[in-house]
Structure 1
Amino acid sequence: MKFIDDLYNLYRDHLTGDEEDAVALVLGALQELEQEDMVTLVKDMKEEELFQMLSLFLIELMRRKMAEEGVGQTTLNTPPISDTLH
């Protein structure tokens, strides 16, 4: 994606390789954009890039929803089930 390529090239000499670099750069750049600019970025994406972006976003939202609802979490205060199948 051209946006990421340009952002990377602009800050390449200042990166340490930590994930925090990527988060700070992307969030900082996006905060400077207007909604119209962000929509233009999305419109310029290839179909595969759009799919990746949307799928990662929706997966993260699903993870958050599941965590909020406690789905899949076990608690130590719950007594074990005594019925066993043989």
Structure 2
Amino acid sequence: MSFVNDIYELYRDQLCDDEDDVITIVLNLLEDQSRENMIQLIQNMGDEEVNQMMGIYLVEMLKMKMVQDGKISPYKPVPAIPTRIH
């Protein structure tokens, strides 16, 4: 997780409450990496980190397939705000 921690420390001030900031930073970082560099990063990860990475990847890819098949909406519904609070 040290790579994630390093990235977070480097970009902490640029990360706001918008998920798009994270996506932009990650895509820019990946664009600059060679396959060999990425494999080296993975080799330096612990087993738990590799499992987390693969788990997140598989979940997101399966969700994309479900969207393509029309099984789920590409947008998450916004939770309703109660009009009356007791």
Q: Which residue of 2 aligns with 1:65?
A: 65
Say if 1:35 and 1:72 are closer, same or farther in 2 by CA, change over 3 A: closer
Higher relative contact order (CA 8 A, sep 6+): 1
Say if 1:5 and 1:68 are closer, same or farther in 2 by CA, change over 3 A: same
- Misfit runs of 4+, over 6 Å: none
Distance 1:37 1:54 in 2: 18
Unaligned runs of 5+ in 2: 74-86
Mark the structure with the bigger radius of gyration: 1
Distance 2:15 2:69 in 1: 38
Unaligned runs of 5+ in 1: 74-86
Identical counterparts, % of pairs: 38
Normalised TM-score (structure 1): 0.70
Alignment partner of 1:45: what SS?
Answer: coil
Normalised TM-score (structure 2): 0.70
